[in-house]
Chain A
Amino acid sequence: MQSIYVIPYVKSIQNVFQTMLQLSVDVGEPSSKQPGKPSYDVSGIIGMSGTIQGNVVLSFPTATAERIVSLFTGCELTHTHADFADAIGELVNMVCGGAKAMLAGEEVNISCPSVVVGSDHRVLGRSDAVCIVVPCTCDCGEFAMEISLRQVAAGSAATTTAA
Chain B
Amino acid sequence: MKVMLVDDSKTMRNIQKGILNQLGYTDIVEACDGLDAMSKIGPYQPELLLVDWNMPNMDGLTFVKEFRSRGSVAPIIMVTTEAEKSRVVEAIKAGVNNYVIKPFTPEGLRERITETLARANAA
Contacts and interface: CB of A to CB of B under 8 A. Distances in A.
Nearest to B82: A97
Interface residues of B, number: 20
B9 A15 contact: no
A87 interface: yes
A87 B103 contact: no
Contacts of A72: 11
A139 interface: no
Interface in B72-121: 80-84, 102-105
A19 interface: yes
B54 A90 contact: no
Interface residues on A, range: 20 to 34
A16 B12 CA distance: 13
Interface string A70-114: 001110000000010011011001101110110000000010100
Nearest to B87: A101
A124 interface: no
A133 B17 CA distance: 35
B84 A86 contact: no
A93 B11 contact: no
A59 B26 CA distance: 36
A20 B103 contact: yes
Contacts of B15: 73
The 10 closest A-B pairs by CB, nearest first: A97-B81, A101-B83, A19-B103, A90-B9, A87-B11, A20-B103, A16-B103, A90-B11, A94-B102, A86-B10
24 contacts: A19-B103, A19-B105, A20-B103, A74-B14, A83-B11, A86-B9, A86-B11, A93-B54, A94-B102, A96-B81, A97-B54, A97-B80, A97-B82, A97-B83, A97-B102, A98-B102, A98-B103, A100-B83, A101-B81, A101-B83, A101-B84, A110-B81, A112-B8, A112-B56
Given A86-B9, A112-B55, 12 more contacts: A73-B15, A74-B18, A87-B11, A89-B9, A93-B54, A97-B81, A97-B102, A98-B83, A100-B81, A100-B83, A101-B84, A110-B81
